[in-house]
Structure 1
Amino acid sequence: CCSKLKLFLVSLAFVYFAKAFGGAYMKSSITQIERRFDIPSSLIGVIDGSFEMGNLLVIAFVSYFGAKLHRPRLIGIGCLVMATGSFIVALPHFLQGPYKYETSMSHNTQVNTTENILPLSLSKLDPSLQSVYLTSCERESSSHMWIYVFLGNALRGIGETPVTPLGISYIDDFAKAENSPFYIACLQTITLLGPMFGFLLGSYCAKLYVDVGYVDMESVTITPKDSRWVGAWWLGFLISSSLLLVSSIPFWFLPRSLPKQGDETDTPTPPSLTLDGAESAQSSNQTIKLTEIAKGFLPSLKRLLGTPTYFLFLCAAILKFNSFIGLLTFKAKYMEQQFGQSASRANFLIGVLNLPAVAVGIFLGGLLMRRYKLSVVSGAQLSFATSFMGYLLLLLQFGTKCDNRPVAGLTVSYNGTQSVSYNGEMLFSDCNRDCSCSPNEWDPVCSDSGITYVSPCMAGCLNSSGRGKNTVFHNCSCASTSYPPGSSTSARLGQCPHAKDCTRSFTSYMAVSVLSSFINSLGATPGYMVIIRCITPDLKSLALGIQTLVTRTLGGIPAPVYFGALIDSTCLKWSIKKCGGKGACRIYDSNMYRIIFLGLITCLSGTSYFFMIAVIVLLKRQFWKADRDIELQQRKASKESGIMAQLETQEKSGAGSTSPKLSSDKTDSTGVGKDLEG
């Protein structure tokens, strides 16, 4: 029994690792996918939410019917489906052509040259070239490769469905009651190794150019910090697919049922005694009629949602999950836009700082429950207290900020004064009005004055020297407007860096973020156990499944979309596709981004605490009533035992008064007998 249960625990832990690895890698690749397919954040939110859409399709039925079927094999099937989905996500890279980023430079940079900067517009092209351009435009517009990513991610969601509800209920059925919280805590802790490695792999892949091995890197004029850079996002999905494929193997050899941990006999637990009420937990000749099982689904669901404690806890979980998904999805992007970090460094820091803190917190939370044997009420109170402390630390993040980078025509005027503008006409000034520049270009250059210009043409540059990333532009008329006469008027490729004090702000932000992650995670296991213990045992699998279903439906699906849409509202400069229409955002108003992003998280989390307080009050009443009933029964039992003791005492005293007569009679009779014998 123990060896098979341990095998199941190890196998399930590896599945948790593999699926968390794939999910975290998806989160770490959000920015890369957004840039590769040239789509806005709201659409990338829809793609990210497709995972939850896949869950929505089957989670309730898998949770309910899965408890009646062979749970380990269902988990194995889910792993195969997830592996297939991860492979489909990576397919567009092999079906698309090479990535071509927007640039005013020639892609032929084999020689070191000095050349003129001549703006190019479609109207000035030769008619034959115009037809070629429009043909390629039509071909590109008909290609919506992001749909593969959407479908593959949805398939990942479908495959993930049986893992958590069936895995947790399987452990809770066949493990000792006092060991279940510890096992679940260990499982969740090992699970967090998946996101750690997922973000670290995302960090590594973000450094690699998307077409690495197929292009000459000397010809690439952008760096990983550039908003046009796309890393090798596809590589991690192939690795994730392989891991999930391997993780499915052990579940085909595990039994449907196990003996209860601690039993002396080595016989499987009878189906009628399993906590989830599965009618057939053994491989016998009994056939399960799904229609008979289905009859109990709606009554069970009604009974579950009619439990006030569970319903209020579900409302709190929905709000918290909304804030968590929004934070996790766009945290790396927030670090990029607010503090000027590259996608690679942002993912690396999340992987080595935030996630280990969460892992330690979850483990310690489970250890606290086991060490002090916390009740359901105490577990709910611990979950609330730690979450609220993390919430207070979140408020401190509003003070850790960096100012907008100075970009001429967007965040500052051409003479250097602060002025945020969403108007494209502000991109033009007297120094570049006669250059016939396109306002749609984004090929930023940094002048010696510390001001970034949208393109070399917008900077008024006349010629350039060097090649690749080392290209330098000269005679930039706009650069001279913010400098004293006679100063340098050259500019180099790329945006100007943030001010030095931004580094200190970023250090403070990471310190607060890591501490908040640790404190929040302390209450994760106690909060999870509240769901299991506040309902009747036969509804346990259904409760876990419905919680996953509802939180992902009302949290996991809409949260990335409306977070992304609100983030899009802070965009200052969009890329423009060849055929027209908005692409991906190139630069955001970092102040508005911070207020909207952190403000939304704060509002969602703050509202959830009202429901948590109500849950704690209900739990106290529920268990106070139960304790009072037990106390009354004990008093009644003690009174009855007291009466019985008095009766026994009276009987003993009565028996004691008659015993001498009996004894003398016995003596006399013995004596008579002896006399007769004599």
Structure 2
Amino acid sequence: MAQDKKKQKDAVKQAQVVDRDEHQKTTEYRKIGAYLITIPAAKKKFADISDKTKPDPTDNDSSEGPFGLGPLVYPCLQRFNTIECFLTLYFMLTLSHGMLYALVDLSLKILVSQFSASNSETFLMDFSDYFAAFLVSMFVAHFGGRGNRAKWVATASIVTGLSAITFAVLFFHYEIIKLSIVEEDLCKEGKKTKVCGSNVIPHKSISISLFIFGQCLHGIAGVPIYLLALTFIFDHVPTLSSGLYIAIADAALTVGYFLGYLLGVKSFILPVEEAMQAVGHVQRFRILQSGWWKSFIFVGSIPFFTTLPLFCFPSNLPGAHKIRLEKSKEPSRVDRRLKNKEIEPNLKGVLHATWCLLRNPLVLTQILCNVTESVTFKASSHYLPLYLQTQFVMTPKSAAMLTGIFILPGCIIGRFFGGYIVDKLQMNIKNKLKFITTVSVISIVLFLLLISVKCETAKFPGINENYDGFGMIGSLKAPCNEKCGCTTSAYNSVCGRDEKQYFSPCFAGCHASKNLRKEKVYYNCSCIIQGLTTADDEEVYLPAGIQSAWVLCLQFGDSLDLSLHQYILQKHQLYVVVFGTLMNVELKYIVGSIKGNNWSTHL
């Protein structure tokens, strides 16, 4: 009996243990069940998804997704779900956007000259992209930062391609460049000056409207590219490595501008002979403008190749949560006034976030740096070629190419090495600020040195010289050319052997011309009576030469001072140092203050 009671007690205890274990398993199953996700069998079979439980949200982020387009997720493509692949696609997109910048700047000069655009029309065509970007920048940055930033960048790639196609349609469908017979502007007694009448330009309004529309698309596309993409890159790389990544991304714009400049300069060379052989007026001007619309189509095809891969990226790449946790251990980068504030995703929230940003000293300083960089680069690309044309009487093609050769490589090298130095030295914020200050001082000193660089003003009869006492300053006419029938409608300056520049061969009194050493020269010029002469192989003395390059002045005037050559070399050397240093400074500041930019994504 005692043994039977003992067996019953053991059985009860064992049963109680079993019941407790089953209860624990049930409780654990309920806890785990909260993290289980149910996947349809068809989708599971199609995507080859294995049975697994959802990890603890404290250890991972649910927004970290696979590389795929909606339900189309393939394991073999997950190797592209990295920040390096995103950076490669972003580099190609920014490259095309920069190329479009250069082509638009160069084509604008053609439209202004061919359409005789007014100042207001020129202003609208030139700055409409900035105005469009200003209108949408706040909304794109506010709402785009809360969504899938990679998809916003993909949408920007589509808009960039549409912008390039708009410019291509403009040059393909409408006649912008017109061929005209240019008569040699020589001195001929009894020649009558043609009076310019009213000139009606067809398709002017629609062409300008298309150009402005393309500029607006171009500006809108740049907002996600330069705002959302940079924050996306920063969130997926360690803080110390962010400088190099952003330097590569930032240098893509300048590289693209350089390549676009080369394309644009090449497009200035018109296939005139091929166009003259074409049948029909439409076919003729399409061949004549083929360099421009083909360049725009080529540039527009690049962003379309990046669209589909960019749409496949998730909101956060794998490993983003881990990097975010590591950055959370760093000193706080959030403005203390916003630390415990919630900003709603609506118009009121946008205005409140804007007000908070305008009161942040770091953001204001960053804005000032970007404005300075933009103004400097814009002024250099626009006015330096004009300065070279005026000071050294260069052709527009030569001045544009020389400007691009010296400015753009300096920008590219400065931007890239700025991020590389910060990445290798692993500077903290304090050292970055010191480095920025040092390089800024050097940049300012180099700018101040430009004041001491002076070029001797060339003598220009009728402008600052009075035809050796036979004419008046302010009038291009003098007794030596008053019977030549000269006109001021076309500026075609020549350099005489007397070391003076003349408005045209006609105002120099030149009666004949010939080609010599691939350049056109003029002789029998009644207004050039001083200086040395140079005889050619036929013993014809050449008083003047057309100045497609300033070196011709040395060729036809042996007494010309070589200081002009020294000055232009010094000028370009200083521009290389100054602009390379300036862009280097801007990148250092971007790298040093990127932490301050990062907190704006939390708004």
Under a length normalisation based on structure 2, what TM-score does the superposition of the two structures give?
A: 0.68
Residue 184 of structure 2 corresponds to 105
Shift of 1:52: 0.8
Residue 502 of structure 2 corresponds to 453
Instruction: Say whether residues 1:240 and 2:289 are aligned partners.
Output: no
Change (3 A) 1:518 1:372: same
Q: Deviations over 1:540-563 (max 9, x none)?
A: 377xxxxxxxxxxxxxxxxxxxxx
Q: Is the 8 A contact 1:32 1:231 kept in 2?
A: no
Residue 385 of structure 1 corresponds to 438
For 1:121 and 1:186, the matched residues in 2 are separated by 57
Change (3 A) 1:241 1:412: farther
Larger mean CA deviation between 141-150 and 449-458 belongs to 141-150
For 1:410 and 1:391, the matched residues in 2 are separated by 34
For 1:308 and 1:46, the matched residues in 2 are separated by 32
Structure 2 counterpart of 1:297, which letter? V
For 2:158 and 2:238, the matched residues in 1 are separated by 31
Give the match's secondary structure for 2:462.
Answer: coil
Q: Is the 8 A contact 2:112 2:122 kept in 1?
A: yes
Q: Is the 8 A contact 2:189 2:483 kept in 1?
A: no
Shift of 1:513: 1.5
Shift of 1:470: 7.2
Instruction: Say whether residues 1:82 and 2:160 are aligned partners.
Output: yes
For 2:267 and 2:212, the matched residues in 1 are separated by 20
Change (3 A) 1:385 1:493: closer
Change (3 A) 1:460 1:337: closer
Instruction: Say whether residues 1:323 and 2:376 are aligned partners.
Output: yes
Shift of 1:429: 1.0
Q: Is the 8 A contact 1:63 1:541 kept in 2?
A: no
For 2:579 and 2:541, the matched residues in 1 are separated by 47
Shift of 1:524: 2.9
Q: Deviations over 1:235-272 (max 9, x none)?
A: 533332222333333212222332234849xxx99xx9
Larger mean CA deviation between 487-496 and 160-169 belongs to 487-496
Instruction: Say whether residues 1:65 and 2:143 are aligned partners.
Output: yes
Change (3 A) 1:322 1:139: closer
Q: Is there any run of 5+ residues in structure 2 with no aligned partner, and where?
A: 1-77, 278-288, 335-342, 534-539, 554-559
Q: Is the 8 A contact 1:31 1:343 kept in 2?
A: no
Larger mean CA deviation between 166-175 and 404-413 belongs to 404-413
Instruction: Say whether residues 1:532 and 2:594 are aligned partners.
Output: yes
Shift of 1:503: 2.2
Instruction: Say whether residues 1:257 and 2:310 are aligned partners.
Output: no
Shift of 1:64: 0.8
Residue 173 of structure 1 corresponds to 235
Shift of 1:164: 1.5
For 1:374 and 1:416, the matched residues in 2 are separated by 67
Residue 161 of structure 1 corresponds to 223
Change (3 A) 1:507 1:168: same
Change (3 A) 1:320 1:65: same
Instruction: Say whether residues 1:355 and 2:433 are aligned partners.
Output: no
For 2:521 and 2:564, the matched residues in 1 are separated by 26
Residue 10 of structure 1 corresponds to 88
Q: Deviations over 1:63-103 (max 9, x none)?
A: 11111223222212212222222232344434116424684
Give the match's secondary structure for 1:297.
Answer: helix
Structure 1 counterpart of 2:192, which letter? L
Structure 2 counterpart of 1:358, which letter? C
For 1:418 and 1:432, the matched residues in 2 are separated by 10
Relative contact order, higher structure (CA 8 A, sep 6+): 1
Shift of 1:515: 1.8
- For 1:55, which of 133, 142, 146 is the aligned residue? 133
Residue 520 of structure 1 corresponds to 582
The 5 Å alignment of 1:386-405 reads 386-405=439-458
Change (3 A) 1:397 1:210: farther
Residue 47 of structure 2 corresponds to none
Shift of 1:465: 7.1
Give the match's secondary structure for 1:119.
Answer: coil
Residue 270 of structure 2 corresponds to 209
Q: Is the 8 A contact 2:187 2:485 kept in 1?
A: no
Count of residue correspondences: 487
Q: Deviations over 1:185-231 (max 9, x none)?
A: 2222344322232233333334x137573248xxxxxxxxxxxxx99
Larger mean CA deviation between 234-243 and 456-465 belongs to 456-465
Change (3 A) 1:496 1:460: farther
For 2:408 and 2:524, the matched residues in 1 are separated by 49
Give the match's secondary structure for 2:275.
Answer: coil
- For 1:22, which of 91, 96, 100 is the aligned residue? 100
The 5 Å alignment of 1:357-506 reads 357-415=410-468, 423=474, 426-461=475-510, 475-480=524-529, 497=550, 498=553, 500-506=562-568
Shift of 1:157: 0.8
Q: Deviations over 1:323-370 (max 9, x none)?
A: 333223333333333334444444444444433333333233223323
Change (3 A) 1:60 1:458: same
Shift of 1:163: 0.8
For 1:153 and 1:237, the matched residues in 2 are separated by 13
Q: Deviations over 1:141-191 (max 9, x none)?
A: 966744433332222111222112111111222333333222112222344
Name the % identity.
20
Change (3 A) 1:489 1:19: closer
- For 1:119, which of 167, 184, 191 is the aligned residue? 191
For 2:309 and 2:416, the matched residues in 1 are separated by 26
Change (3 A) 1:465 1:361: closer
Q: Is the 8 A contact 2:362 2:596 kept in 1?
A: yes
Structure 2 counterpart of 1:255, which letter? P
Q: Is the 8 A contact 1:89 1:237 kept in 2?
A: yes
Q: Is the 8 A contact 1:197 1:351 kept in 2?
A: no
The 5 Å alignment of 1:241-320 reads 241-261=300-320, 263=322, 292-320=345-373
Residue 551 of structure 1 corresponds to none
Shift of 1:59: 1.2
Q: Is the 8 A contact 1:416 1:451 kept in 2?
A: no
For 1:541 and 1:339, the matched residues in 2 are separated by 53
